[in-house]
Structure 1
Amino acid sequence: MSVFKPLYIALVVAGSAVAMPVSADIISTDEIKLDVSFRYRLEQVNTDAPVQDALASTLRSRIKLTTASFNGFSVLTEIDNVSYIGGDSFNNTVNGKTGYAVIADPDGTDINQVALRYQHDKAGSFTLGRQQINHLNQRFLGGVGWRQNEQTFDGYRWQFKASEQLQLELAHLDNVNRIFGPDGPAADQRGDFRTLLAQWQVAKEHRLAAFGYDFDFRDWNPRDSLTMGIDYSGSFALNDEHRLAVHVAGARQNDRHQATIDFTHNYHRLSAGWTYQAVTVELGQERLAGDGQLAFQTPLATLHAFQGFTDLFLVTPPAGIRDNWIKLNYQSDWAKFAFGYHEFSADAGTSEYGQEFNVSVSKALTKQLAGLLKAARYDADDFGSDTSKLWFQLVYTL
């Protein structure tokens, strides 16, 4: 149990007390803001792996209460419920249906966030409690917002704006509320986690960041590590109609604390995207080094956003991975279209893992309702099994 558990209970009571005067037809007042949203998703998985195909029909309901600031203090409370509509012919990681393919959306009600925040104009902000943290592109630390049960963190975080160009953030966390909750053996990862993020706005469209992650897991010693790196993103106007966006990131990861094996692995991500009117074409490569025994890992990342939609590489293979991709985005007056192609290979050795093709269409149907249709196909060579996934999603926000 997190050492912050008593605080969470107190904050929920405080948030509820403030919320009591709010009537059902009022979304916000001067004292409190109430946000309500619903996300329905139909997800299908077809695979050549020795498990049955899976189908999940899930609904996430979310209520978020944010109080107004009082002498710099405010309270945030966010509660999620995940329910099944129809059957549950899938392995949600805790229901024991291991004969089906995994769709990691356990049902249940969860306190997603509950935190006390203090804002000071000169000292920045200090947040204590359960909170969402998304760093940069979420490659090393993120909320895994794609899954119905989001990943949040228990601890405290200090954010400081040293100048208009320089921002600093330090955090100390003692528990990770993972997507496999709210119940079950994998719902939490306890430990001692320290994070550092510094961002410098070099120019209007050029940002340089430095980061550090010291992870000491209590029950997951193979993932104990120290990761340090830099991240640059910039945009260049080639002329009135053409623009080039560049992203370069690099990091080094070493064994730390009670890690079971000594290791040092490198990481890089390089991409360039060319935009002309409503079309963007991006080329890129991401490398997580491996030596055949261990590889660079990012256990607290938003992993679905990387290396294709089928999630075959949530854990980096021991030989590491190189992901070479091309993506095409097109924004029409009717909807947004996205296409992607990935080629995966080992970093150490000559293995060709496989190829993946992704496609998605997203559209705002009304001011409050948005739709998404997404599909992915992975063709295996030396890793995994042929896998196809299909998603249909609706999000309604009050």
Structure 2
Amino acid sequence: MKTAQLCKRMTLGLVVATTALGTIAEDMESRLDEVPGNFNLESRLRYEVFDQAGGLDVDGVSHRIRVGYTTPESGGFQGMIEGETLYAWGHGRDLHPADNAGDGTDLNQLWLAYRNEDLGSVKLGRQLYTLDDHRFVGHVGWRQNIQTFDAVTGSIDLIEGLSLKAFFIDAVNTVTDMHNDIEAFGLNAGYALNQNADLVLFYYAIDGSPDAAGSSSDTLGVRLTGKLIQNELTWAYALSAARQWENSGFPGVDFGHDYLSADLSVDLEGVTIGGGVELLGGNGIHGFSTPLATLHKFNGFADVFLGASGSGGLVNGLEDYQLYAGYTFRVGNGIKTRLIHHWFKPWTGSGDYGEELDLVASYQINERFSVLGKYGDYNSDGGSGGVGGSDKTLLTVELNFVY
């Protein structure tokens, strides 16, 4: 009954929101054409269900709206300000396991940038920032409260095909509405080997909490991505490897962890089939961690391993083997779908994690509106190292509006 009532509310909300926002967009477009610079408006209405065996069982509706303004460029300078308001209601409004951002309005972005054709660009302030596949630095765009950084970021194209990016992060504004002081520095050098292959070398140094052993680390890695077109087949691949070691100087804390990932897929006339593996090392005490990443993008939609992999790492590590298939159904503008199956195992130690089946579908209604549904079902085999010991199900349906 509770779910049925919320579904009715969600349907009514979709109708009302679509009509109202469509009218607002038309009115805004006519009024703002004469204003220099660019305004942005984003809205997301979402219904979610979380069900975890022996624990959390909540559902609820949340709405997020972002409004921002970017100045026109003048003499190479440009600025931006953006606010974000989030409201949640329903049984799970304050119990979301990974997105408990609460209600209210926050300053999402406030930055000043300078760009020079010869010298590159630099940006100072609160900002969205991502690198490569978001595995090490990302904005967690899936969450209602997006992740931003108080940072200085810059990039320069040194020679043709070679791009160097650097950042210094002073604080992380998390998806749970926390402001975490941190010192993080990174270098990311990308080189286009040819039109279909790119190589990236990266180094990230994180000085985390002085009270948390294992939260500070240095990471050095390499990433290769590319595609190969063979008649009607398009092959795509991605390979990454990294080494992470402790840098805090904590007495008795000394670790070195490996990271490996590989993915291969083939596309034929809209049908995609692929598989991959991601390995995160652990030693029974600490594990390979990526606290600045878009964690929801990896290791299953149900977010079973999200918390541990972001803070101190999974102590027994993680081996994630996956197969996936995608297809765009030719209905209207096309319904994009993807089915993924994960097999999770610990890198070391006893026990076993489990398996997860994920499904996502999206549809672009028009230029402004899109809908998305996402489902994740994790079935535990007992867990390992205190993680992954309970079954968990996630279901999300949302309406997005972008101006």
* TM-score (normalizing by structure 1): 0.87
SS at match of 2:87: strand
Residue range with higher mean Cα deviation, 202-211 or 347-356: 347-356
Aligned match for 2:206, one of 215, 219, 223: 215
What residue is the counterpart of 2:400 in the other structure? 395
Aligned match for 1:106, one of 97, 102, 109: 102
**2:272 pairs with 1:283:** no
What residue is the counterpart of 2:337 in the other structure? 337
When the two structures are aligned, how many residues end up with a matched partner?
362
> Alpha carbons of 1:351 and 1:23: their partners in 2 closer, same or farther (altered >3 Å)?
closer
What residue is the counterpart of 1:364 in the other structure? 364
What residue is the counterpart of 1:127 in the other structure? 123
Is the contact made by 1:126 and 1:158 (CA closer than 8 Å) also made in structure 2? yes
What's the CA shift for 1:80? Answer: 0.7
What residue is the counterpart of 1:37 in the other structure? 42
> Alpha carbons of 1:89 and 1:62: their partners in 2 closer, same or farther (altered >3 Å)?
closer
SS at match of 2:382: coil
Is the contact made by 1:223 and 1:259 (CA closer than 8 Å) also made in structure 2? no
What residue is the counterpart of 1:179 in the other structure? 175
What's the CA shift for 1:158? Answer: 1.5
**2:332 pairs with 1:325:** no
Is the contact made by 2:93 and 2:102 (CA closer than 8 Å) also made in structure 1? no
Is the contact made by 1:354 and 1:378 (CA closer than 8 Å) also made in structure 2? yes
Unaligned runs of 5+ in 1: 1-21, 93-100, 182-186
The structure richer in helix per residue is 2
**2:189 pairs with 1:198:** yes
Deviations 1:294-342 (A, max 9, x none): 1111111100000000001111421100000001111122200110000
Q: Matches of 2:364 and 2:391 in 1, distance apart?
A: 32
Residue range with higher mean Cα deviation, 27-36 or 58-67: 27-36
SS at match of 2:337: strand
What's the CA shift for 1:292? Answer: 1.4
Q: Matches of 2:221 and 2:42 in 1, distance apart?
A: 36
SS at match of 1:291: coil
Amino acid at match of 1:131: Q
What residue is the counterpart of 1:10 in the other structure? none
> Alpha carbons of 1:53 and 1:167: their partners in 2 closer, same or farther (altered >3 Å)?
same
**2:111 pairs with 1:115:** yes
Q: Matches of 1:253 and 1:26 in 2, distance apart?
A: 52
> Alpha carbons of 1:259 and 1:234: their partners in 2 closer, same or farther (altered >3 Å)?
farther
Equivalences for 1:130-141 in 2 at 5 Å? 130-141=126-137
Equivalences for 1:158-169 in 2 at 5 Å? 158-169=154-165
What residue is the counterpart of 2:219 in the other structure? 227
RMSD: 1.8
What's the CA shift for 1:211? Answer: 0.8
Amino acid at match of 1:393: E
Is the contact made by 1:115 and 1:128 (CA closer than 8 Å) also made in structure 2? yes
Is the contact made by 1:294 and 1:319 (CA closer than 8 Å) also made in structure 2? yes
* Percentage of identical aligned residues: 29
> Alpha carbons of 1:259 and 1:331: their partners in 2 closer, same or farther (altered >3 Å)?
farther
* TM-score (normalizing by structure 2): 0.86
Q: Matches of 1:226 and 1:29 in 2, distance apart?
A: 49
Q: Matches of 2:73 and 2:99 in 1, distance apart?
A: 39
> Alpha carbons of 1:348 and 1:190: their partners in 2 closer, same or farther (altered >3 Å)?
same
> Alpha carbons of 1:102 and 1:299: their partners in 2 closer, same or farther (altered >3 Å)?
closer
Is the contact made by 2:50 and 2:56 (CA closer than 8 Å) also made in structure 1? no
Is the contact made by 2:214 and 2:286 (CA closer than 8 Å) also made in structure 1? no
Unaligned runs of 5+ in 2: 1-26, 384-388
What's the CA shift for 1:90? Answer: 4.4
Q: Matches of 1:221 and 1:152 in 2, distance apart?
A: 24
**2:252 pairs with 1:247:** no
SS at match of 2:214: helix
What's the CA shift for 1:26? Answer: 2.9
Aligned match for 2:303, one of 284, 297, 311: 311
Amino acid at match of 2:260: H
Amino acid at match of 1:192: E
